[in-house]
């Protein structure tokens, strides 16, 4: 007879043994019914599809997965077993499915950009915009870098993270250029040269690293002194302005006095040169006159001697009335005039006027 499942379950809950089939009470070979056997009676066997049917479908799907599309602004880079194999241009393309080959698409026409020192870098742990100038002043630099991919293969495979690399290199290049300029140049008339120098320095670094990137432009957005040092900067600026004012005043005084001193020096030099020329000419004239007198003296010594004496007396006593005494009369008057001893002068009598 069939097993009464509900009755057996109730008796089991009460701790009694399950009901037995007729003719099985008290037998040693009696067995308890198993739940698994009971469940198997209600199971319906299902037939699995054959492996030979699924395998071609799987292989077909695997082969179809190798088709891919390259857009006009992209370049498809195919890797075979992880190593770069070839590049493909736009259109529907095919590569051996993974894991044999894989494709990496690179946009080489898009102009990319990033900002340093602005809102994009405000949450960074390191203040990337704070830099030191050549005159040891702190300045905050905010700038934008624009670039694009020039070599897709180098961009995809030579550098682990090219975009982060160019950002770090741009900060380094800007620090180098700012370090060669003063803060006043960065704030005023050196902005254009700083941009050009930074772009050239950054491009040289990208070529050295082999990133495959081309730097199109570097543009300064803002240059200002940090708030923490702005008061000190104002004091330094004021002191610098005072220094420049004093220097300008000193230069003005120098520019005023230097021409005057140079004019005086030129005048003194001219006077000295004129005096030199005058003395040289006088000396030459005296020498020529002496040579002429010497020739006359040799011809008539006594006459020349008398003439020289008379000319000398005329030069010594210019404008005075002079008398010429000759012969015995002149010798007798010398004691009276005190010319031959300490005797006092006696008023002369009537002398004959000499020539």
Beta-carbon contacts of residue 260 (< 8 Å; ≥ 6 apart): none
Condensed to tens digits (0 to 9), the pLDDT of residues 107-153 reads: 888 899 999 987 654 455 347 888 888 888 888 889 999 999 999 98
Tell me which of 160 and 53 has the higher pLDDT.
160
Q: How far is CA 249 from its chain centroid? A: 32
Residue environment code for 319-343, b if the CB has 16+ CB neighbours within 10 A, otherwise e: eeeeeebeeeeeeebeeeeeeeeee
Q: Tell me what pLDDT residue 35 has.
A: 57
Q: Tell me what pLDDT residue 147 has.
A: 95
SS (H, E, C) 222-254: EEECCHHHHHHHHHHHHHHHHHHHHHHHHHHHH
On the question of pLDDT at 354 being above 60, the answer is: no
Only one residue has tokens 């299902």, namely: 46
Condensed to tens digits (0 to 9), the pLDDT of residues 199-251 reads: 999 999 999 998 999 999 999 988 888 777 777 777 777 787 888 889 999 99
On the question of pLDDT at 190 being above 60, the answer is: yes
Which of the four pLDDT bands, split at 50, 70 and 90, describes residue 329? Answer: low
* The two three-digit tokens of residue 17, written as one number: 């043994």
Beta-carbon contacts of residue 73 (< 8 Å; ≥ 6 apart): 107, 108, 109, 110
Tell if the pTM clears 0.85, that is, is over it. no
Beta-carbon contacts of residue 215 (< 8 Å; ≥ 6 apart): 145, 146, 147, 166, 199, 202, 203, 206
């Amino acid at each position: 007879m069939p097993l009464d499942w509900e009755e057996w379950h109730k008796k089991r809950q009460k701790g009694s043994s399950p009901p037995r089939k007729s003719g099985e009470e008290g037998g040693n070979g009696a067995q308890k019914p198993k739940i698994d056997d009971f469940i198997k009676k209600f199971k319906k066997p299902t037939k699995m599809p054959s492996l030979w049917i699924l395998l071609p479908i799987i292989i077909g799907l695997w082969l179809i997965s190798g088709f891919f599309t390259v857009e006009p602004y992209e370049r498809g880079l195919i890797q075979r077993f992880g190593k770069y194999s070839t590049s493909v241009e736009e259109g529907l393309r095919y590569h051996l499915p993974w894991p044999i080959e894989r494709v990496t698409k690179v946009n080489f026409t898009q102009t990319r950009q990033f900002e340093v020192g602005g809102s994009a870098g405000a949450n960074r742990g390191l203040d990337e915009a704070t830099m030191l100038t050549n005159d040891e002043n702190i300045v905050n630099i905010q700038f934008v870098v624009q670039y694009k991919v020039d070599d897709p293969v180098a961009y995809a495979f030579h550098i682990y993270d090219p975009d982060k690399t160019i950002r770090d290199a741009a900060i380094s290049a800007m620090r180098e250029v700012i370090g060669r300029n003063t803060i006043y140049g960065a704030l005023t008339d050196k902005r254009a040269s700083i941009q050009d120098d930074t772009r050239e320095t950054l491009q040289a670094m990208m070529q050295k690293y082999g990133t495959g990137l081309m730097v199109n432009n570097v543009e300064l957005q803002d240059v200002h002194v940090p708030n923490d040092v702005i008061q000190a900067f104002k004091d330094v600026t004021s002191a610098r302005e005072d220094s420049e004012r004093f220097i300008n005043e000193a230069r003005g005084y120098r520019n005023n006095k230097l021409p005057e001193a140079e004019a005086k020096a030129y005048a003194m030099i001219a006077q000295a040169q004129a005096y030199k020329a005058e003395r040289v000419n006088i000396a030459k004239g005296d020498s020529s006159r002496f040579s002429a007198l010497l020739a006359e003296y040799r011809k008539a010594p006594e006459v020349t001697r008398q003439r020289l004496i008379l000319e000398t007396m005329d030069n010594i006593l210019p404008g005075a009335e002079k008398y010429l005494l000759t012969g015995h009369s002149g010798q007798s008057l010398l004691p009276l005039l005190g010319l031959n001893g300490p005797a006092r002068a006696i008023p002369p009598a009537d002398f004959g006027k000499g020539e």
